[in-house]
Amino acid sequence: MLQNFKRVLLSLVLLSAGALTLVLSDLHSREGARSAGNGGASRWRVAILKHSSNPLLDELEAGVLEQLAAAGYRDGERLALRRFSAEGDLPTANAIATQVANGSFDMVITISTLSLQCVANANRDGRAVHVFGGVTDPVGAGVGIRRMDSTEKPPWLAGIGTFQPVEQILREAQRLWPDLKTIGVVWNPTESNSEACTLKAREVCRALGLELLEATVDQSKDVREAADSLVARGVQAFWTGADVTVASATIALYETALKARIPVFSNTTGQVRDGTLFDLGANYREVGHRTGSLAASILDGQDPATVTIINFMPERVMLNRQILKKMRDPWRFPDDLVARADLIIGEDGQIEKGAATHGIKSPPAVPAMETSAAEPAARAASAARQPLAKRWRIQEVSYSESIIVEDAMRGFRDGLKEAGLAEGRDFTIKALSAEGDMATLGSLFDSARTAGTDLYVVFSTPTLQIALQKVRETPLLFTVVADPFTVGAGKSDTDHLPNITGVYTLAPYRELAELVGTHFPQIKRVGTLFCPAEVNSVTNKDTFVREAGRCGLTVETVPANNAGELPDAALSLCSRRLDAVVQIVDNLSAAGFPTIARAAAQARLPVFSFLSSGVEQGAVLAVARDYYDAGQETALKAVRVMRGERPERIPFSPPTRLQKLVNLKNAQQCRLSIPAALLREARPVPDNPGR
């Protein structure tokens, strides 16, 4: 017995000594790593996480490593490097993210949107500096980045966005076959990067006169069935953007397309080897170089909080002649596109032009940053605080007063202040409202012109309509406008009238329709009011009817031309055999939403809204754009104009934030049960919320 006790005691002593050695060793390595930035000999502990091993992400990772090495950071010398891949499995990605963000690494470099999201979620307390690349839409990723070209983000987070050239590839597709009319896309709406590309594609297709038919999937196994459904609907080609779910099943997509003898074109370069007709997307080796250069500058001492999040898109073209000859329609490669191509696969399947490995050219690494990126950022910030060359006379004009207009105006004025401009010193600002009278709008613009206005800011579609007639040369900005293209402000975000720019706010109709279909399968028939006299109302109504139909919902619509007709129209709507009211956005319903909610309450019908204020006025749920943010983003465009930039060079854009709000008291009153899954997505509002 005594002998056994001695053996156990000896084992415990040895284990304790070993543990103490490991603790001291780890402490030493942590202290050494912290001193490395100050010229110490110890190494920085850096982790690289990519979502899967595929040619695209592997190429980006190689670019990161090449640039780190060019800056003097090599594994085993100044770096203690660990490389991780989740191999496409989200639970694995989350587990790795937890591991690398627990304080054992000084820096984590993530490759892909999903990797960014996993690490950002695990690194909320900022234990590690986080650098990201290979991300389509950093703002839409939901990791705390407020807007592009800014430093509004968590201070430990830095990186670059690479938004896919969606507009360019769709324009090229139309050039390759001018008779192209209908394009299909399979995409996963739960992926923020895919959603951003699809939203852009909708806008571009509308401007080009193309019809975009969509099929959504949740899993890769559903891609083939979705693609078959689009072929049955008559698509003439497939486009695919930045969608990880679809990328995992691209062979199924290509086989479906080839069977129908129609092409696939992709914003992910390198897929011509698998079966696309042509690729137009990013050179991810160069994206990797830029990401690695940023990481190196931070290791050299730059504060990540000063890094501006920018978009970087080095374009690359790849063509496949073997697929071209199998098409049923007369697609052709223009000579200038052939000349631009980095890779061409010949009719025999052999490489006709370009590198033989992965179809990728490997340009030399760009030089390491010689000066801190904080310096130009600081200079820009300093310039932004300087007084303007003149005091601008700003005139705000609205069709009617409403909560959304008030929010947008408040956001606009706050945005000017946040940009460093001071009222009285840099600008004066006045507001005019037509109080819902179209005839008054024209006289308001006449008065403003007589008084001398340097810049107009208009709120609502009716106001923009009149402004287009009255304001020809003076800079004109718009917001609270669903569709500026319908009223003639432009053909696309970048092709618009020379004196105009702004932020359009088409409500998230597809998102709410999908949410209703997912969480409330018992709701099949919904109703909405619209105003035939408002162009934006008709546009919104038609858009919602279309999107709801795609999600299996039937929509009843009732017109109301003015506030006097609204109560009877609301009662008429709610007397029909409906499961819910889903009220679209227009000026009439925004002002009269409580009337609509009261009629629905009498009929015990739940109300869904596209305005955040709706949940305070009787709605069960709101899926809404943030109109305050829209006003702020309009202000940023205004500041660019006031500092000398021409409006024609400033693209139109949508607001970046989307809110989901739920009112449990309203749900209880109409006897609607809110699923737990929805409560995890939406933010509950208190019974008596203050504004």
How far apart (Å, rounded) are the C-alpha atoms in residues 66 and 85? 18
Please check whether residues 267 and 137 belong to one and the same domain: no
Looking at residue 510, its pLDDT comes to 86
Please check whether residues 582 and 607 belong to one and the same domain: yes
What pLDDT digit, counting tens, does each position of 218-229 carry? 877 788 899 999
In which band, very low, low, confident or very high, does the pLDDT at 590 lie, cut at 50, 70 and 90? confident
Q: What is the SS3 string spanning 154-192?
A: CCCEEEEECCCCHHHHHHHHHHHCCCCCEEEEEECCCCH
How far apart (Å, rounded) are the C-alpha atoms in residues 135 and 287? 10
What pLDDT digit, counting tens, does each position of 538-552 carry? 988 998 999 999 889
Tell me how many degrees the CA angle 524-529-531 measures, rounded to the nearest 5: 145
State yes or no: pLDDT of 318 exceeds 70.
Answer: yes
Please check whether residues 47 and 157 belong to one and the same domain: yes
Q: Is 451 inside a domain boundary?
A: yes
Please check whether residues 68 and 129 belong to one and the same domain: yes
Q: Is 603 inside a domain boundary?
A: yes
With a CB cutoff of 8 Å and minimum separation 6, the contacts of 529 are: 557, 558, 559, 560, 566, 569, 570, 573, 583, 584, 588, 589, 596
Tell which wins on pLDDT, 361 or 130. 130
Please check whether residues 67 and 177 belong to one and the same domain: no
Q: Is 370 inside a domain boundary?
A: no
Q: Is 469 inside a domain boundary?
A: yes
What pLDDT digit, counting tens, does each position of 354-371 carry? 754 343 333 333 333 333
Give the chain's mean pLDDT. Answer: 85
Domain of 524 in residue numbering reads as 509-625+658-684
What pLDDT digit, counting tens, does each position of 176-227 carry? 999 999 999 999 888 878 888 999 999 999 999 999 999 998 877 788 899 9
Q: What share of the chain is helix, strand, coil (3-state, %, to 5)?
A: 45, 20, 35
Q: Is 15 inside a domain boundary?
A: no
How far apart (Å, rounded) are the C-alpha atoms in residues 201 and 508? 15
Please check whether residues 221 and 332 belong to one and the same domain: yes
Range of weakest confidence among 6-10, 422-426, 448-452, 650-654: 6-10
Is there a contact between 260 and 232 (Cβ–Cβ < 8 Å)?
no
How far apart (Å, rounded) are the C-alpha atoms in residues 599 and 582? 13
> Listing from the earlier edge strand, what are the strands of the sheet with 525-530?
554-559, 525-530, 580-583, 607-609, 621-625, 658-662, 683-684
List the helix and strand counts (H, then E) for the chain.
24, 26
| DSSP state letters, 44-81 | EEEEEEES---HHHHHHHHHHHHHHHHTT--BTTTEEE
Mean pLDDT of 85-112: 89
Q: What are the backbone dihedrals phi and psi of residue 326, each rounded to the nearest 5 degrees, phi first? A: -95, 0
Q: Is 209 inside a domain boundary?
A: yes
Q: Is 404 inside a domain boundary?
A: yes
How far apart (Å, rounded) are the C-alpha atoms in residues 78 and 132? 20
State yes or no: pLDDT of 665 exceeds 90.
Answer: yes
Mean pLDDT of 516-537: 91
Q: Is 385 inside a domain boundary?
A: no
Please check whether residues 446 and 525 belong to one and the same domain: no
Is there a contact between 310 and 148 (Cβ–Cβ < 8 Å)?
yes
CATH number, domain containing residue 440: 3.40.50.2300
State yes or no: pLDDT of 682 exceeds 70.
Answer: yes
Tell which wins on pLDDT, 536 or 162. 162
* Sole residue written with tokens 């619209």: 530
State yes or no: pLDDT of 679 exceeds 90.
Answer: no
Please check whether residues 616 and 641 belong to one and the same domain: no
How far apart (Å, rounded) are the C-alpha atoms in residues 181 and 460? 31
Please check whether residues 128 and 215 belong to one and the same domain: no
| Helix (H), strand (E) at residue 90 | helix 90-100
Tell which wins on pLDDT, 536 or 163. 163
Task: Quote the number of domains for the chain.
Answer: 4
What pLDDT digit, counting tens, does each position of 134-161 carry? 998 899 888 999 999 899 999 999 999 9
Please check whether residues 125 and 187 belong to one and the same domain: no
What pLDDT digit, counting tens, does each position of 35-63 carry? 333 344 468 999 999 987 777 788 899 99
Please check whether residues 51 and 156 belong to one and the same domain: yes
State yes or no: pLDDT of 373 exceeds 70.
Answer: no
Please check whether residues 500 and 554 belong to one and the same domain: no
How far apart (Å, rounded) are the C-alpha atoms in residues 2 and 94? 49
pTM, two decimals, is: 0.47
